[in-house]
Chain A
Amino acid sequence: MKEESLWYIFINASLINNFVLAYFLGICPFLGVSGKLETATKMGGAVTFVMLISSVCAYGINAFLIAVGAPFLQLISFIVVIASTVQLVEMFVRKMSPALFRALGIFLPLITTNCAILGLALFQTQKGYGMVESLVYALGAGAGFTLALVLIAGLRERLEFAEVPGVVKGTALTLLIAGILSLSFMGFAGLGG
């Protein structure tokens, strides 16, 4: 599979190798804000947006660093770019929708330390994706992240009313559901060949 079609890249990032369920990236917000369906959707949107911007920036920076001959600065510059993008999004959200800003709370600034975003930047560099491919990859990863978050949130909302033993409640239960979801996502492995 040398020449990957854009469609394949998208399916690969969103379903086959879902960032949350196969790579375990972005587990913190996954466990933290997945209690409510609405918050989960918006969080997914915010993360996808940050992913798109930082993916393009990461591509540019990587090309520049290789041209300059300082690839060891890669990690540091990626994290700086991501941190500033998150700062931007935070200001934007606070202005546009204070209610959403309150709902996301501490998890908004924590997008900076969301492994999914840095992971995306690192993976796309590793795979040697070009500009367009990186964008599609970011879009797919964002869609996959949102999908996983929404699925879990829906399940958790229903489980609120279920009778579960006290010891299982909380993180352990969420992890168990995530495990089962991850198993079912393996069914996508054949897609895209």
Chain B
Amino acid sequence: MNKHTDKSGFFAALEDSSSADTFLRGLWKDNPVFVQVLGMCPVLAVTNTSMNALAMGLATAFVLLMSNVLVSSLRHFIPKQVRIASYILIIATFVTITDYAIMAISVELHKSLGAFISLIVVNCLILSRAEAFASKNTVGQSMLDALGMGVGFTFALLCLGVVREVLGSGSIFGFGLFPDGFQNWIVMILPAGGFFTLAIWLLLFNILKQKRATT
């Protein structure tokens, strides 16, 4: 967390140029999960282990990147009236590709993510980026925006996944963390734990925001 709040040095230098700003916005200031509260379903559903969270984040980022690039390059050809339908078709195509790719890479992972890979189609984040950004900006800008948002989304998923796995299963990425005798907080890997963890992350962000506003 501290790495991002500290805006001196490297980050300050990056933020000077506008294209770097496009990228960084998704990472921090407009973080899709913590600030915009978009795409909640996968955030809560598949973050019971860090591995699932990472896989889901990367899959979403890939779909976001590809659909942003395609929407942006087709933006002069898509009639305004049918644009949403076209965006959804583009997104659904890439999600199908991702779905089959994950199945080919690891059947086990595909099984544990289940229907939630297909449900990337209805992730509001992707549609909102297509509508709000990619349909109005150049291909390069859209690509940067998608990368920033994708990384920000993955980062947020990992935040939840790591907390839930460490507390709920006593491990991280499948490796045991605690000596015997650690009582797992079963509730953290249950659905309720997802709600609680996200609520607490949002709380932390609110406190940070308030602190910055008063100083």
Within 8 A of B (CB), among A175-192: 175-176, 178-180, 182-183, 186
Select A113's contact among B122, B193, B196, B203, beta carbons within 8 Å: B122
Per-position binary interface string of chain B over residues 14-52, scored 1 when its CB falls under 8 Å from any chain A CB and 0 otherwise: 000000000000000000000001101100110000000
Q: Is the CB of A75 within 8 A of B44?
A: no
> Which of A22, A80, A119 is the one whose CB lies under 8 Å from B115?
A119
Give B58-100 interface residues, CB cut-off 8 Å to A: 85, 88-89, 92-93, 95-96, 99-100
A182 CA to B195 CA in the complex, in Å?
A: 8
- The answer on a CB contact under 8 Å between B100 and A72 is yes
Judge whether B88 and A79 touch: CB under 8 Å: yes
**Docked pose: A178 CA to B192 CA in angstroms:** 8
In chain A, positions 159-175 with a C-beta closer than 8 Å to chain B are: 166-168, 170-173, 175
A22 nearest CB neighbor, chain B only: B191
Bound-complex Cα distance A147 to B85 (A): 30
Residues of chain A within 8 A of B127, CB atoms compared:
113
- Of B92, B124, B203, the residue contacting A172 (CB under 8 A) is B203
Q: Is A57 an interface residue (CB 8 A)?
A: no
Q: CA of A22 to CA of B48 in the docked complex: distance in angstroms?
A: 13
User: How many positions in chain A have a CB within 8 Å of any CB in the partner chain?
Assistant: 40
B63 vs chain A, min Cβ distance (A)? 12
Q: How far is the CA of A189 from the CA of B200 in the complex (A)?
A: 26
Of A22, A24, A172, A180, the contact of B41 (CB 8 Å cutoff)? A24
Q: Is B121 an interface residue (CB 8 A)?
A: yes
Q: Are B202 and A186 in contact (CB under 8 A)?
A: no
Residues of A within 8 A of B124 (CB): 28, 110, 113
From B114, which residue of chain A is reached at the shortest CB distance? Answer: A126
| Contact A31 to B93, CB < 8 A, known contacts A23-B45, A72-B100 | no
Chain B neighbourhood of A80, CB < 8 A: 85, 89
B192 is contacted by which of A83, A118, A179 (Cβ under 8 Å)? A179
| In contact, A168 and B115 (Cβ under 8 angstroms) | no
CB contacts (< 8 Å) of B207 on chain A: these are: 167
> Whose C-beta in chain B lies nearest to the C-beta of A30?
B40
Interface centre among B37, B41, B89, B193 (most CB of A within 10 A): B41
A100 → chain B closest CB, angstroms: 22
- Closest B residue to A125 using CB positions: B115
B190 within 8 A of A: yes
B43 to chain A, nearest CB (A): 8
8 additional A-B pairs beyond A23-B191, A179-B195, beta carbons within 8 Å, are A25-B41, A75-B118, A76-B96, A79-B88, A79-B89, A115-B119, A176-B195, A179-B196
